[in-house]
């Protein structure tokens, strides 16, 4: 699902025009990104939690030339942990028989 698909679906369900739905979704994503950029913790109840973590420096190797090593510096990454409702929904979908 793309952002566009999400906008169309929400617009259909709410009766709001797509431009307004897009503006709200984009502003939400902008604020989440800005907060994560500051290292803040984002918690959306029943959906999940976004956290900024530090990935340690390590040595990488080119699979085509494993004798050459490349130092990979320490960096910040975003981790996501699914919330209770999301876990339950996914588990129920995975447990349902296909077809």
Q: Are residues 85 and 54 in the same domain?
A: yes
As given in the structure block, the two tokens for residue 33 are 């990104």
CA angle 30-47-79, nearest 5°?
65
Q: Are residues 57 and 80 in the same domain?
A: yes
Q: How far apart are CA 87 and CA 78, in angstroms?
A: 19
Q: Are residues 56 and 99 in the same domain?
A: yes
Number of domains in the chain: 2
What is the pLDDT, as a whole number, of residue 99?
54
What is the pLDDT, as a whole number, of residue 14?
96
Under a CB-based contact definition with an 8 Å cutoff, are residues 59 and 70 in contact? yes
pLDDT per residue, tens digit, the chain (99 aa), is 999 999 999 999 999 999 999 999 999 999 999 999 999 999 999 899 999 999 999 999 888 888 888 899 999 999 999 999 999 999 988 776 665
Domain that holds residue 27: 1-39
What is the pLDDT, as a whole number, of residue 66?
81
Q: Are residues 5 and 19 in the same domain?
A: yes
- Which residues lie across from 84 on neighbouring strands? none
What is the pLDDT, as a whole number, of residue 97?
66
As given in the structure block, the two tokens for residue 43 are 């918690």
Q: Are residues 45 and 35 in the same domain?
A: no
């Amino acid at each position: 699902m793309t952002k566009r698909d999400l906008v169309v679906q929400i617009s259909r369900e709410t009766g709001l025009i797509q431009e307004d739905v897009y503006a709200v979704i984009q502003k939400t994503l902008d604020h989440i990104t800005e907060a994560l950029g500051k290292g803040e913790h984002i918690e959306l109840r029943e959906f999940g939690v976004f956290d900024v973590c530090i990935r340690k420096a390590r040595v990488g190797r080119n699979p085509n030339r494993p004798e050459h090593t490349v130092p990979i510096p320490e960096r910040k990454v975003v981790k996501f942990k699914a919330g209770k409702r999301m876990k339950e929904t996914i588990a129920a979908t995975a447990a349902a028989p296909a077809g």
